Structures are given as C-alpha cells and as structure tokens.
Structure 1
Amino acid sequence: MPRPSRWSEILVAAGEEFRERGYDTATLESIGARVGILKGSIYNYVASKEELLLAVVEQPAKQLLAELDRLNHDSGSSAAARLRELIRTQVRIFSDCYPAAFVYLQHIRMSGERFDEFRAMDARYMAAVEELVADGARSGEFSLAADARTTARAIVGMLDWMQHWFTPRGEQADRELADQLFATALGGLAAGGGMHAMARDLP
C-alpha cells in the first residue's frame, strides 16, 4: 500500500522556514526536520530548494491575481467598492496562505526564469490597482493627492507592509482589520486633493 503524500506538510514547513530564516539560510534538512522526514525524502517531491520556494509562493501569487482580474471585470461596482473588496481579498489570502504569501513578497525579486513569471504577475497587479485608482479619480469618487501610479503604490505598500506585523486572527477579526485598512485608504483617496493643497499652504 503506497504511503500517504507529505507534500502539503512540506509546503507548510517550507513556508515557515523561509519566512523565519530566509531563503539563503534555510536548508532542506531543516525543512525536513519540521515535518519529521529526512532531506532525501524531500527529493521525492522536488529537485531543489529553489523549486520548493517556487511551489510555496505559487498559490498565493496566482490566487491574488485571479481575484484582482475578477474585480477588474466587475463594471457594475464603484471604484470604492472594488477597492474594499480588493483589500478584503488580500487580507484573506494573507491569512489563508500564511506565511507563504509573505514569503512571496520577500523573495519576488530573486533572479531566475521562473521568478520572471512572478514579477510579470506583480506588474499586472500594480497596473490593475493603478487603473482602479484612476477609475475612481475619473468618476469623481476619489480626489487624489498624487497621480494614480503613486497613489496605487502607496496603497499596495500599506498592504505589503503587513508582512512585518500580521498574523491570522480568524475570519471575522481579519475582515474587520481589512475594513479598517480600507477606511484608512479611502480617507486619503476621498480627501487627498484637498489635504495636498492645505499642506502646500502650511508655513
């Protein structure tokens, strides 16, 4: 009778190891130790540490991009409603894919052909957020303090910084956190233009 696969356990252990120790310091031996298997057994699943890292980050990266593509095709919702859903989705993925989602953010700039794929996905994500912000400005929902590109990067930066402090707290608490972040972003988007003018007049 074949032994049950340990792949899901290996992915979780690898995500924890990469987040806590970093890719360069982590070893297949230490990842195997978290699962209770020898390094040689991991080679039944992957050929290298880089391949294991790619497997860890693939799910959250593709899941987030798929959700963003869905939101961009939701022409019946306001820009503010789509932004709220985006932030809720990102916090949910951070929770569901913890800590793999943060491993992705930490290692997306690594060199290698496969990481080029993830960087291309990241560029698509940034372009989509920028377009969402621009939609809100065109419709009059948002009054931007900066151009859409800078504003989008500020919003994404706020969310990406969660890698330094966020831990999942449960569905209800995570959703409340997402709505708090949305309210923070929306305050700047709705009043940013006026606040920027006021800042220029400060002595």
Structure 2
Amino acid sequence: MRQPIGLARPKKAPKRNGSDRKPKAARWLELLDAAAEIFYEKGYDATSLQDIADSVGILKGSIYYYIETKQDLLDQLLREVHAAGMLNFEKFDALEANPLEILRQMVEQHVLYICDNLARTTVYLNELGKLSPEDRKAIVGEHEFRNKFMDVIVQAQDGGLILADLNPKLAAQVLLSSINSVYGWYHPDRGQSAQAVAAHVGLTNLRGLATEAGLKMLSSREASGGNNKANKSRATA
C-alpha cells in the first residue's frame, strides 16, 4: 500500500470517559471516517480494530457495540462511496444537452468525485476487487457505473458523435478504467487542481472516441473556454 503524501499516521486520541459519549449515530459516522483514513494509509488487511479505536479515542471493546467484524466497516464504506458516486450521475438524466457533452460532464464529475474524496475512493477501488463476485454484487450492484457511461455512449453513437464501430460496453469499460486510475497518481499538493485534472481526463478520453463531428464539437467547446462548466458542476455537486 502506498504511503499518501501529506497524510500523517493517525494519532491516538485520549480515551473518553462516560461524559464524552456521543449518540450512536454520531459515533458510527466517526468510526467510518476513522476507518476510511486508516484503511487508506495502511491498507485494509494491515489495519486492526485497535488502530481504529485508538484513532477515535474509545476502548476496542466499545467498537463491538456497532459492528461484529472489521469487514462490517469496509462493507459500509463501499456502499456509501458507491451510492454517492451514483447519486452524482442523477442530475445528468434530465440534462438537456447533446450526449457527447453529457458524457464529458459525467467524466469530469466522476474524476472530481474521486479527487475530492481521495481516501474513501482509494479504499473503494483498492478493496472492491478483492471481494467475491457475489459479495461485490450484493454491496454495489453489477457494473452500474459502466452501464451509466455505456448508455450515453450509445446515444452519442446514434447521434453520429462517437465512432459507430466501437463496442459501447468495451468503450465504457476503458473510459471508466481511465477515470478510476486517477486515484493512483493524483495528489492535491502537487500543484495541479482537481478541475484541471478532470478536464484533461475528459478531453483526452473523448477525443479517442469521437467522430469528426464530435471532435469539432469538442474543439469548439475548448476554444470557448467551456471548462468553466466543470467548476460550476463541482461547486453545486
């Protein structure tokens, strides 16, 4: 597991006495946040419940009031990351724009989601593939992100904006793989904004899919400074 730049090892918080007890819902959220950060830093396998208890400032035995095993924390994190990512796509269902523009915005939005939630999305992308197909399907469904992209790719092909001879399922999978790779190399302290990364990933991928008409549309948008829409989309997400 790589050591993220600028992420310090969680310090032990002082153990809390009875007067410091939080409502169950608040403590559960605190445990999830702590688990996400430590899974991100150390990896799921190397993280112990004692690590999480120390980070939150409770006794290890108190964690069992909320979970039975460490896997329960991971499963909930995977569900939340997946659900939030899918929720970001809902606004595109009613967006009135050509499908290539919708696809561009979807790509940029998903990249921004990864960059803005780096710890949680890293855990999601690192650990999801280790689950059995049955467990993975039960937690996050089956190819829901890919299918969202595939549906819009088909619409863009029908409109003559994406090459008709491309297999839409494979094109969507390649596109999603490119987006998901961002977590492995993006670092917010290296001088490149998340917005710039999102715009670059979107434009680079769509240029490889677009027809001549689609390329003209992308070039026209780029020349008009259309990347400001990515910033607005991020601000309202």
TM-score range, shorter chain: 0.7 to 0.9
2-side partners of 1:128 and 1:64: how far apart? 11
TM value normalised by structure 2 = 0.69
CA gap of 1:15–1:164, structure 2 versus 1, over 3 A, is same
Q: Which runs of 4+ in 1 moved over 6 A?
A: none
Is the contact made by 1:64 and 1:90 (CA closer than 8 Å) also made in structure 2? Answer: yes
Within 5 Å, which residues of 2 pair with 1:112-191?
A: 115-120=136-141, 122-143=142-163, 146-168=166-188, 173-190=193-210
Q: More deviation in 107-116 or 61-70?
A: 107-116
TM value normalised by structure 1 = 0.79
1-side partners of 2:109 and 2:80: how far apart? 14
1:39 to 60, 65, 71: 60
2:48 to 27, 37, 47: 27
CA gap of 1:145–1:185, structure 2 versus 1, over 3 A, is farther
Asked if 1:60 corresponds to 2:81, the answer is yes
CA RMSD of aligned residues (A): 2.6
Alignment deviations for residues 74-95 of structure 1 (CA, whole Å, 9 cap, x no partner): 3622122212221222123223
Counterpart position of 2:14:
none
1-side partners of 2:98 and 2:139: how far apart? 29
Asked if 1:81 corresponds to 2:86, the answer is no
Is the contact made by 1:64 and 1:89 (CA closer than 8 Å) also made in structure 2? Answer: no
CA gap of 1:112–1:140, structure 2 versus 1, over 3 A, is closer
1:26 positional shift: 1.6
What amino acid maps onto 2:209 in structure 1? L
1-side partners of 2:119 and 2:193: how far apart? 18
1:141 positional shift: 1.2
Q: For structure 2, which runs of at least 5 residues remain unmatched after alignment?
A: 1-18, 213-237
Q: For structure 1, which runs of at least 5 residues remain unmatched after alignment?
A: 193-203
1-side partners of 2:165 and 2:183: how far apart? 26
Alignment deviations for residues 62-105 of structure 1 (CA, whole Å, 9 cap, x no partner): 0111222442x236221222122212221232234331122112
Q: Give the number of aligned pairs.
A: 189
1:37 positional shift: 2.8
Is the contact made by 1:92 and 1:175 (CA closer than 8 Å) also made in structure 2? Answer: yes
2-side partners of 1:106 and 1:38: how far apart? 28
2-side partners of 1:59 and 1:89: how far apart? 17
Asked if 1:90 corresponds to 2:110, the answer is yes
1-side partners of 2:134 and 2:167: how far apart? 32
What amino acid maps onto 2:210 in structure 1? A
Is the contact made by 2:95 and 2:102 (CA closer than 8 Å) also made in structure 1? Answer: no
CA gap of 1:144–1:112, structure 2 versus 1, over 3 A, is closer
1:107 positional shift: 1.8
1:145 positional shift: 6.5
